[in-house]
Structure 1
């Protein structure tokens, strides 16, 4: 094992055991058997060390998501992704807080990949015509809600003692972004879903069918459809 890997492993262990959610570089160096100059040479500063450690801990979660077989129904994958996200937060509260509830000057890469994996599932739902909003917005809504309820469970367990709250927030969030495919479709709902489905596939049409400029213009037109339908519904 390299010195860098050993330091990260030690930091992850100390972080998991920390009652405050913090670790000192001195404690890390003592446990890893290295001098502080070596730590700073490898990671730049404490934030760099913590960011690398968060990525290391979250790699377990992300590797599991990458390896997971797709379900026949992407909605099953969306639900499972939410539940595994919350479960991981509860199992690794200090690493979770560092990723989503701190302002590290060195940004962990884990959050970006978690969003990318979520977007892949939502793109599949969009391709099936099942999203009320474009997949980019849906991903932001789902991630914000998922991290919000997970942080509530992690940071304020006395106020949020029931982990079952996560499933309630999950279902409410999913109802907000998904069409009810079992209900009779209203014309406006169908038009919005069609626009979102086309938007999700624009990237695959460049450059085979459209130039980037043409795709950008088409994307702008399609984005107007949900807004126009929402406006007409409010009248």
Structure 2
């Protein structure tokens, strides 16, 4: 088909209001060509956060422990302590399950390093104090912490009353707001590391 014949057919179809399919397909050559994403929308996806560096892992961020709403409480630590590790574990498990039942936002459940306590008995008043004190028994204190955030102020007294009703003997329950001191108490102090740091500081000062 010549160019003039094609033009006459196109003009005739334009006047009638119709379009010939053969001519329309032959004129749209861009369908088989790459578009290189021209005309598409970009930047609508939510950008992903950058990966967490190793130095930022384990750092304490106080803004994460604040409550979202005004009638909610900040991060609370339910500290369960006692000398019997079986009772401490069972009661800490009960506190954890109770928080799950009331659909509370549990951040962490962890254990603190145990501490030892020596109970001594005084033999007589005539002897000196240092000689009269003899070790009788050594006790170990165990602690478990259930950390809850965004607890409603109306639910807090109900939960606390339920926990105090089922607390066993020789177990202590303490509720406190999370702070930096409690965060640092999770890590055990190393005397050897402090001595090595002091030796390094002396070497730097001697230069």
* Normalised TM-score (structure 1): 0.18
Q: Which of the two has greater helix per residue?
A: 1
Q: Which of the two has greater strand per residue?
A: 2
* Normalised TM-score (structure 2): 0.20
Larger radius of gyration: 2
Structure of greater relative contact order (alpha carbons < 8 Å, 6+ residues apart):
2
